[in-house]
Structure 1
Amino acid sequence: MLVGVDQVQAIDENIQFYLFPHADSWYYSLLPIIKGITEFGSFNITAIVALVFVSYYGIFRKLYVNAYIVAVSFISMWSINYVLKILLRRERPELEQLMAAHGYSFPSGHSMIAAGFYGVIFVLLVQTIKNRGGSGSLLALFGALFVLLIGYSRIYLGVHYPTDVVTGLLCGAIWTFCMHRLLQEASP
């Protein structure tokens, strides 16, 4: 299995050495901001966001396909991540974690949720802007940065290896791509 290979572990640790904020580094002062960013990938926050967007699309806009895709993305990303963690059982980094984290490390749930749940929401929002004659480029850029920041926050906090985060982002991005294709096929 790839995650257990010594070379991958060595690469992870080398990258993490530079990205993890040691108490004497200048970017250690960003800790409160990074903790705030990482919370956007938590179950509680994503559940609230899912409820808001499912309600918005389903009740207020009568866009039932969009509401369904948001709900399915929320449930699927959390469920798939849970199953992958149980199957792969990678332990978390042996660092002084700057925030409590429980369970296995691979793939990063926050990163997977960021790319596969928030990614879907940003795709829906950008599509709405495009349908109204706008470009949506700025929102797409913001969405990509938002997703990447959540992923980076997990490495910064010492709760994930870089490969955990990259794999979570890739899994979520694949999900978002598939949901986008599904939306395109469902559109008249």
Structure 2
Amino acid sequence: MKKNNWITVFTAILLFVLLGLIYKTSMVKTIDDAFFDFFVSVRSDALDSFCLFLRDFGSSKMYLSFAVVLLIFSIIRKRIWTGIYLLITLLTARLVVQIVKGIYERPRPAAMYYVEDGFSFPSGHAVMATSFFLTLSFILIILDTNLLKQRKIIQVTALAIILLISFSRIYLHVHHFSDIVAGWLVGYVWYSICKNVFIFLHERKQI
């Protein structure tokens, strides 16, 4: 991993640890409540439906379905390890989410729009969306070098989808904003670790 990447990953880890220490403070609660208040102010039936769609679109089952399709595509392109890499990233990211949630055991917001099980910190949807779409954008360019020219568009699209899925969780009152930020940090760190392990093995012709 390049030095700049190490610094970014280490910074993300430090920020997550810090957030895990202060999410119960009045300052963070004020910020969380401000985001709740904003989304309540713009609530509508159309947004309700859209955010419920994003809930299902951003589920682990949907990501695994996409990953299987990409695995088939990678086999066709004779780059099977790219598909396997995405599957491993997703499965291990989900495991990381469960472990970290169990460490913090933060209850979900009291006023949820529907019943959601499990703990709140970090947001699993934010973690999975971040790790999946960042990994997917990286893999697409590997599988088809013609997409290299569209790199910026692919990356911006990936970030936009991550933001939409993440903020829909606040809109539905199943996560605090601080849960979402924590999810972004965990998702980015895990994406970076898996990506650099893949690059390391690939460069040494292990895969």
Q: TM-score, normalised by structure 1?
A: 0.86
Q: Does 1:5 align with 2:22?
A: no
Partners in 2 of 1:183 and 1:92 — Cα distance?
A: 35
Partners in 1 of 2:67 and 2:56 — Cα distance?
A: 15
Deviation at 1:170, TM superposition (A): 1.4
Partners in 1 of 2:155 and 2:116 — Cα distance?
A: 30
What is the aligned partner in structure 2 of residue 84 from structure 1? 100
Identity %: 23
Unaligned runs of 5+ in 2: 1-20
Q: Does 1:66 align with 2:65?
A: no
SS of structure 1 residue aligned to 2:196: helix
Partners in 1 of 2:44 and 2:29 — Cα distance?
A: 24
Q: Does 1:49 align with 2:66?
A: yes
SS of structure 2 residue aligned to 1:158: coil
Partners in 1 of 2:38 and 2:147 — Cα distance?
A: 44
What is the aligned partner in structure 1 of residue 195 from structure 2? 180
Pair 49,133 (structure 1): closer, same or farther in 2 beyond 3 Å: closer
What are the equivalent positions in structure 2 for 1:23-172 lying under 5 Å apart?
A: 25=42, 27-57=44-74, 59-95=75-111, 97-130=112-145, 134-172=149-187
Unaligned runs of 5+ in 1: none
Bigger relative contact order, structure 1 or 2 (CA pairs below 8 A, ≥6 apart): 2
Pair 80,133 (structure 1): closer, same or farther in 2 beyond 3 Å: closer
More helix by share: 2
**What value does the CA root-mean-square deviation take over the aligned residues?**
2.1
Partners in 1 of 2:101 and 2:148 — Cα distance?
A: 42
How many residue pairs are counted as aligned between the two chains?
183
Pair 127,64 (structure 1): closer, same or farther in 2 beyond 3 Å: closer
- After superposition, the C-alpha distances for 1:2-46 in whole angstroms (9 at most, x for unaligned) are 222232223212222112x35xx4645311112112212212212
Pair 18,56 (structure 1): closer, same or farther in 2 beyond 3 Å: same
Deviation at 1:183, TM superposition (A): 4.1
Q: Which 10-residue stretch deviates more, 135-144 or 59-68?
A: 59-68
